[in-house]
Amino acid sequence: MRRIVLLVLAVCFANYLSAQNQSATWIWYPGDYEVWLSNDMQNRRTERGTFFPPFWKMDSHYVLVEFHKEFQLDKPEEISIYAEGVYNVKINGKMVHGTPSKLKLDKGTQKVTIKVHNQAHVPSLMVQGETVNTSKDWLVTFEDKEWIDETGKASDASGTTYVKVGYWNFNDPENKPSAFKLPTRLEHAVSVTPHKDGKLIDFGVNTFGFLTLKDLKGKGQLEIYYGESKEEALGIETCETLDVLDINNSSPADTTLENSKAFRYVYVIGENDLDFKGADMLYEYLPVEERGTFKSSNDRLNKIWDVANYTMELTSREFYIDGIKRDRWIWSGDAYQSYAMNYYLGFDQETVKRTIYALRGKEPTQSHINTIMDYSFYWFLSIYDYYLYTGDREFIEAIYPRMQTLMEFVLERRNKEGLMQGLAGDWVFVDWAEGLSKEGALSFEQLLLCRSLETMAFCAELVGENKEKDYYNAEAKELKDKIFNYYWNENKQAFVHSVVDGEQSDNVTRYTNMFAIFFDYLNDQQKQGVKSNVLFNDDVQKILTPYMRYYELEALCALDEKDIVMQEMLDYWGGMLDLGATTFWEEYNPEKQGADHYSMYGREFGKSLCHSWGASPIYLLGKYFIGVKPTSPAYDTYLIEPYLSTLEWMEGTVPTPQGDIKVHMDNQTLTLSAPHGVGTLRLNSSIVPTANKGEFTKVGDNLYEMRIDKDFEYKINYKK
Amino acid sequence: MRRIVLLVLAVCFANYLSAQNQSATWIWYPGDYEVWLSNDMQNRRTERGTFFPPFWKMDSHYVLVEFHKEFQLDKPEEISIYAEGVYNVKINGKMVHGTPSKLKLDKGTQKVTIKVHNQAHVPSLMVQGETVNTSKDWLVTFEDKEWIDETGKASDASGTTYVKVGYWNFNDPENKPSAFKLPTRLEHAVSVTPHKDGKLIDFGVNTFGFLTLKDLKGKGQLEIYYGESKEEALGIETCETLDVLDINNSSPADTTLENSKAFRYVYVIGENDLDFKGADMLYEYLPVEERGTFKSSNDRLNKIWDVANYTMELTSREFYIDGIKRDRWIWSGDAYQSYAMNYYLGFDQETVKRTIYALRGKEPTQSHINTIMDYSFYWFLSIYDYYLYTGDREFIEAIYPRMQTLMEFVLERRNKEGLMQGLAGDWVFVDWAEGLSKEGALSFEQLLLCRSLETMAFCAELVGENKEKDYYNAEAKELKDKIFNYYWNENKQAFVHSVVDGEQSDNVTRYTNMFAIFFDYLNDQQKQGVKSNVLFNDDVQKILTPYMRYYELEALCALDEKDIVMQEMLDYWGGMLDLGATTFWEEYNPEKQGADHYSMYGREFGKSLCHSWGASPIYLLGKYFIGVKPTSPAYDTYLIEPYLSTLEWMEGTVPTPQGDIKVHMDNQTLTLSAPHGVGTLRLNSSIVPTANKGEFTKVGDNLYEMRIDKDFEYKINYKK
Q: Where are the beta strands (DSSP E) in A657-701?
A: 659-666, 669-673, 678-684, 690-691, 697-700
Chain B positions touching A143 (Cβ under 8 A) are: 56-57, 366-367, 425
Confidence of residue A424 (pLDDT cuts 50, 70, 90): confident
Chain A positions touching B51 (Cβ under 8 A) are: 86-88, 99, 115, 117
Environment class of A527 (CB within 10 Å of its CB; exposed 0-12, middle 13-18, buried 19+): buried
Q: What confidence score (pLDDT) does residue B151 get? A: 38
CA distance A635 to A644: 23
Chain A: nearest CA to B146, how far in angstroms? 7
Tell me the per-residue pLDDT of A269-318, one tens digit each, with 9 for 90 and over: 999 999 999 999 999 999 999 999 999 999 999 999 999 999 999 999 99
CA distance A686 to A91: 72
Q: What confidence score (pLDDT) does residue B70 get? A: 96
CB pairs under 8 A between A and B: 173
List the single residue in B with minimal CA-CA distance to A144.
B55
List the single residue in B with minimal CA-CA distance to A50.
B98
Tell me the per-residue pLDDT of A88-142, one tens digit each, with 9 for 90 and over: 999 999 999 899 999 999 999 999 999 999 999 999 999 999 999 999 999 999 9
Q: What confidence score (pLDDT) does residue B162 get? A: 86
Confidence of residue A68 (pLDDT cuts 50, 70, 90): very high
What residues form DSSP beta bridges with B246?
Answer: B221
Chain B positions touching A150 (Cβ under 8 A) are: 432-434, 601
Q: Is A57 in contact with B147 (Cβ distance < 8 A)?
A: no
CA distance A379 to A356: 7
DSSP notation for B57-79: ------SEEEEEEEEEESS-EEE
Whether B603 and chain A come into contact, CB under 8 Å, resolves to yes
CA distance A285 to A310: 11
Chain A positions touching B52 (Cβ under 8 A) are: 88, 95
Q: Where are the beta strands (DSSP E) in A122-197?
A: 124-128, 139-141, 163-164, 166-167, 184-188, 191-195
List all residues of chain A from 83 to 142 with a beta carbon under 8 Å from chain B.
86-88, 95-99, 115, 117, 119-120, 142
CA distance B491 to B407: 34
Q: What confidence score (pLDDT) does residue B159 get? A: 66
pLDDT under 50 in chain B at which residues?
Answer: 1-21, 147-157
Tell me the per-residue pLDDT of A2-13, one tens digit each, with 9 for 90 and over: 333 333 334 434
What residues form DSSP beta bridges with B473?
Answer: none
Q: What share of chain A is helix, strand, coil (3-state, %, to 5)?
A: 30, 30, 40
CA distance A108 to A676: 41
Whether A160 and chain B come into contact, CB under 8 Å, resolves to yes
**What integer is the mean pLDDT of A453-479?**
98
Do B48 and B240 touch, CB atoms closer than 8 A?
A: yes
Tell me the per-residue pLDDT of A347-379, one tens digit each, with 9 for 90 and over: 999 999 999 999 999 999 999 999 999 999 999
Reported as half-sphere exposure (CB side, CA atoms, 13 A), residue A244 has a value of 11
DSSP notation for A224-235: EEEESSHHHHH-
Stated as kind and residue range, the H or E segment containing B381 is helix B373-390
Phi (first) and psi of residue B350, to 5 degrees: -60, -40
CA distance B418 to B446: 10
- Of B216, B215, B238, B220, nearest to B228 by C-alpha is B238
- Out of B60, B364, B426, closest to residue A60 by CB: B60
Roughly how many angstroms between the first and final C-alpha of chain B, as a whole number?
36
Q: Is B62 in contact with A57 (Cβ distance < 8 A)?
A: yes
Number of C-beta neighbours around residue B543 at 10 A? 21
Q: What confidence score (pLDDT) does residue B189 get? A: 98
- Of B488, B616, B624, B622, nearest to B556 by C-alpha is B624
Q: What confidence score (pLDDT) does residue A147 get? A: 42
CA distance B324 to A500: 64
Tell me the per-residue pLDDT of A664-708, one tens digit each, with 9 for 90 and over: 999 999 999 999 999 999 999 999 999 999 999 999 999 999 999
The dihedral of CA A489, A492, A498, A500: what is its sign?
A: negative
Number of C-beta neighbours around residue A226 at 10 A? 22
CA distance B284 to A616: 64
Chain B: nearest CA to A531, how far in angstroms? 28
Q: Is B145 in contact with A62 (Cβ distance < 8 A)?
A: no
- Out of A40, A97, A148, closest to residue B48 by CB: A97
Q: What confidence score (pLDDT) does residue B144 get? A: 58
CA distance A719 to B435: 89
Please, what's the b/e burial string for A176-209 (b: 16 or more CB within 10 A of its CB; e: otherwise)? bbbeeeeeeeebebeebeebeebbbbbbeebbbb
Mind spelling out the 3-state secondary structure of A499-568? EECCEECCCCCHHHHHHHHHCCCCCHHHHHHHHHHHHCCCCCCCCCCHHHHHHHHHHHHHCCCHHHHHHH
Q: What confidence score (pLDDT) does residue A201 get? A: 98
Q: What is the mean pLDDT of chain A?
A: 94
- Contacts for A25 with CB less than 8 Å, ≥ 6 apart: A126, A133, A134, A135, A136, A167, A168, A169, A170, A171
Q: What confidence score (pLDDT) does residue A18 get? A: 42
- Of A504, A511, A509, nearest to A489 by C-alpha is A504
List the single residue in A with minimal CA-CA distance to B64.
A58
Q: How far is CA A596 from the centre of its chain?
A: 30
Mind spelling out the 3-state secondary structure of A278-299? EEEEEEECCCCCCCCEEEECCH
CA distance B61 to B121: 8
Can the peptide bond before residue B590 be classed as cis, meaning omega within 30 degrees of 0? no
Whether A33 and chain B come into contact, CB under 8 Å, resolves to no
What residues form DSSP beta bridges with A323?
Answer: A611
Phi (first) and psi of residue B623, to 5 degrees: -85, -35
Chain A positions touching B58 (Cβ under 8 A) are: 62-64, 117, 142
B575-B577-B582 Cα angle (round to 5): 145
Whether A2 and chain B come into contact, CB under 8 Å, resolves to no
Chain A positions touching B428 (Cβ under 8 A) are: none
Q: Is A39 in contact with B432 (Cβ distance < 8 A)?
A: no
CA distance A715 to B650: 108
CA distance B218 to B270: 9
Whether A56 and chain B come into contact, CB under 8 Å, resolves to yes
Chain A interface, mutation test: which of B41, B143, B402, most A Cβ atoms within 10 Å?
A: B143
| Complex ipTM value | 0.92
Q: How far is CA A518 from the centre of its chain?
A: 21
Question: Measured between alpha carbons, how far is residue A308 from residues A337, A429, A576 in Å?
Answer: 12, 25, 11
- Of A359, A314, A182, A381, nearest to A585 by C-alpha is A314
What residues form DSSP beta bridges with A535?
Answer: none
Tell me the per-residue pLDDT of A133-175, one tens digit each, with 9 for 90 and over: 999 999 999 975 654 333 333 344 456 788 999 999 999 999 9
Task: Report the amino acid identity of residue B140.
Answer: V
Environment class of B429 (CB within 10 Å of its CB; exposed 0-12, middle 13-18, buried 19+): buried
What residues form DSSP beta bridges with B603?
Answer: B600
Task: Report the amino acid identity of residue A703.
Answer: L
Can the peptide bond before residue A689 be classed as cis, meaning omega within 30 degrees of 0? no
Chain B: nearest CA to A653, how far in angstroms? 39
Q: What confidence score (pLDDT) does residue B5 get? A: 38
List the single residue in A with minimal CA-CA distance to B601.
A152
- Contacts for A342 with CB less than 8 Å, ≥ 6 apart: A312, A316, A320, A348, A351, A352
- Of B80, B79, B324, nearest to B203 by C-alpha is B324
- Of B38, B23, B14, B24, nearest to B122 by C-alpha is B38
Chain B: nearest CA to A243, how far in angstroms? 9
Length of chain A: 720
DSSP notation for A308-338: HHHHHHHHBSSSB-SBTTTT----HHHHHHH
List the single residue in A with minimal CA-CA distance to B156.
A425
